[in-house]
Structure 1
Amino acid sequence: MTLGDVKVLPGLDEIKAAAELIYKTMPATPQYSWPLLNERASQIAGAVEVWVKHENHTPVGAFKVRGGLVYMDWLRHERPEVKTVVSATRGNHGQSMAFAGKQLGLRVVVVVPFGNSPEKNRSMRCLGAELVEFGNDFQEASEHAAYLEGKFGWHRVPSFDLRLVTGVSTYAWEMFTACPELDTFYVPIGMGSGVCGTIAARNALGLKTKVVGVVSTHAPAYALSFAAGHVREHESTTEIADGVACRKPDETTLEILKAGMDRILMVDDKAVKEAMRAYFVDTHNVAEGAGAIGLAALLMDRPKGGKRVGTVLCGGNVDSDVFGSVLCDGGLS
């Protein structure tokens, strides 16, 4: 079956099977409606109930681990001859590959751009990954991963794959089944597995919840592509939301978004930093830039999103000096 020229997203049975696999390694993450966040959003425009899915509470501090576990399980069953995998990342995808690959005894090589987060790099190495630094942005790192695949015959794990989508769709399935039906759910867009997984879970459960994608104003490639109806590249200059620093959107992702997403919002670095502070002040959770961008969009979009809205704190892996600077620059309010 196809959706236009796109393979159909995972259905409910596939999502549940992925959840059972994931729960062998980690429990479901919590979702809360925090009183102070509700108050903050209500002060902007009318009473609102805000729900947050806490993917910062996974074993690698980000939602990506779900996709890694499902993808590596597929690899174990379908490609048992694979001994080395290679991929590119700004951090959370690489941690996912390292975490899941270590369980299967696979060699994991991860390409990161120069100047990548030192603490994410340390975490990937601690999880057993071999790091290769190459390029000035994610796209150049990704192209180098493809080069290494061809040169050494390693198995390349893409940044977007429907197996990854199936894995990460489980967080949205947990969210949508654990809390009342939401009017709107705001999802950061990096390479697209998270937002596509959210659309898959929403569709599988037959909900009317609108899915709104969120990108950085300083990394607008997906917003420009969504508006144009085809892939458009654009440089990324975001200084805080590296997890959504996409220069070249994925064609399959874009087709899925065109079919199942309501709209895309763009949020600047200043608003992302304000959302990082809001998470800490209102919930005492640490959010990286890409982890807070959904909340930034939710607050910016009041009251258009409705009276019951949600977002995902998709990652908390921010370097300590960066986070300290964010808190100090804006004050704790």
Structure 2
Amino acid sequence: MRFSPDDVDAALATVRAALPPTPQYRWPLLEQALGGETWVKHENHTPVGAFKVRGGLTYLDWLRRTQPGVRHVISATRGNHGQSIGFAARRHGLQATIVVPHGNSVEKNAAMRALGVELIEHGDDFQAAADHAAALAEAQGLHRIPSFHRELVRGVTTAYVEFFEATKAAGGAPDVLFVPIGLGSGFSGAAAARAHCGVATRIVGVVSAHADACLQSWRSGVLVEAPATTRIADGMACRLPVADSVALMRAEAEDLVAVTDDEVAAAMRLFYATTHNLAEGAGAASLAAALQQRGRWAGRRIGLALTGGNVDAPLFAEVLAGGKPAA
């Protein structure tokens, strides 16, 4: 997926009308743990605590320009995408309905309701919620926003444009960037930004070992459906990948790696101990993968996408205490 310079500039203008660039910092204790210069892109510092807000802003800006008659949108989420849609819909005066699976994050649900969305709980996982959102859109004549779309990716690209431009100015873009993967908008945005900024950074995608449909699809070249049973990285709980996203990963990824819930929990603890930043499970997956591949990248410049910090307090307390999250 490629965007023209005008496409990227327009996305940057849309996003920056709602939020400033997020920071990218080096943390000495984290660099000691990884054995190399390490830059963390802090997307946990956006107004909804996650990178997804960028895609919601560009998608709804595009929707208002191309389909001005739309007044009510619907989508499915595990939380951060839904907050993104709620945040952007409120800016445009649109109604938003969000479908989440039963047992979804209590605090993410509360955050979405606080943004004014109508929240519906349906199904046992994201895919069931997405199928229900599609059925409701058809029955009620609502505009359905998918979780992977060119306009969502265009917004997400702005995060990595900020990152690559800032690190270039500070001595050089990283040799490798670790990016968590749910359905792949983050990875796609990173790849688009790499092309836009003209850097040679290798991009490693990170999936949950307990939701590895994207990894299996990437390896085989055909879409593979697989259970999504991660207890801690709900933002990566993909059961059925998107064909366009997998094709892009196959073209652009240096590698895809899988991290376990235990590895993610350890990374959440390490992020907190070394940076005092809160990382949700998916947000810490990049660090989990970098730790897993420490020997490969020691002494090199490393980039980590801390994509979000929206984790329920009881779960984070359990993680900090070193316990395993309850099933």
TM-score of the aligned structures, taking structure 1 as reference length = 0.94
Structure 2 match to 1:97: 85
Q: Is the 8 A contact 1:211 1:262 kept in 2?
A: yes
Alignment partners' CA distance in 2, 1:13 and 1:107 = 30
Counterpart position of 1:303 = 295
Q: By how many angstroms is 1:311 displaced? A: 1.1
* Structure 2 counterpart SS, 1:29: coil
Following TM superposition, where does structure 1 have runs of at least 4 consecutive aligned residues deviating by more than 4 angstroms?
A: none
Judge conservation of contact 1:34–1:283 (CA < 8 Å) in 2.
Answer: yes
Pick from 226, 229, 233 the counterpart of residue 237 of structure 1: 229
- The equivalent position to 1:316 in structure 2, one of 309, 314, 321, is 309
Q: State how 1:1-333 maps to structure 2 within 5 Å.
A: 8-42=1-35, 48-179=36-167, 180-305=172-297, 307-329=300-322
Counterpart residue type for residue 91 of structure 1: G
Distance (Å, rounded) in 2 between the aligned partners of 1:95 and 1:41: 32
One-letter code aligned to 2:310:
N
Gaps of 5+ in 1: 1-7, 43-47
- CA-to-partner distance for each residue in 1:84-134, whole Å, 9 max, x for gaps? 100000000000000000111111000000000000000000000100100
Q: Is the alpha carbon distance of 1:298 and 1:11 closer, same or farther for their aligned partners in structure 2, counting shifts above 3 Å?
A: farther
Q: CA deviation at 1:299?
A: 1.2
Give SS of 2:296's match. Answer: coil
Distance 1:271 1:81 in 2: 47
Following superposition, the deviation at residue 313 of structure 1 comes to 0.5
Shift of 1:72: 0.5
Structure 2 Cα separation of the partners of residues 301 and 312 of structure 1: 16
Report the alpha carbon displacement of residue 13 of structure 1 after superposing the two structures with TM.
Answer: 3.0
Q: Specify the SS of the correspondent of 2:295.
A: coil
Report the alpha carbon displacement of residue 11 of structure 1 after superposing the two structures with TM.
3.2
Contact 1:90 1:117 in 2 (8 A): yes
Residues 56-109 of structure 1, C-alpha deviations (whole Å, 9 max, x = no match): 000000000000000010111111110110000000000000000011111100
Amino acid in the other structure paired with 2:313: S
CA positional deviation for 1:181:
1.4
SS at match of 1:171: helix
For 1:13 and 1:215, locate their aligned partners in 2 and report how far apart those are by CA, in whole Å. Answer: 32
Contact 1:187 1:194 in 2 (8 A): yes
Distance 1:273 1:16 in 2: 37
Tell me how many residue pairs correspond in the alignment: 319
> Over residues 225-278 of structure 1, what are the superposed CA-to-partner deviations in whole Å (9 max), with x where a residue is unaligned?
000011100001100000000000001101111111111000000000000001
- TM-score norm. by structure 2 comes to 0.96
Partner Cα separation in structure 1 for residue 223 and residue 174 of structure 2: 30
Aligned-partner residue type, residue 55 of structure 1 = E
CA contact (8 A) 1:55 1:61 kept: yes
Distance (whole Å) between structure 1 residues aligned to residue 311 and residue 163 of structure 2: 24
Alpha-carbon distance between aligned partners in 2 of 1:207 and 1:131, rounded to the nearest angstrom: 41
TM-align CA RMSD: 1.1
Q: Quick one: which amino acid aligns to residue 227 of structure 2?
A: E
Please tell me the residue identity of whatever aligns with 2:199: L
Equivalent residue of 1:254, what SS?
Answer: helix
Q: Secondary structure at the match of 1:329?
A: coil
Query: Aligned letter for 1:324?
Result: A
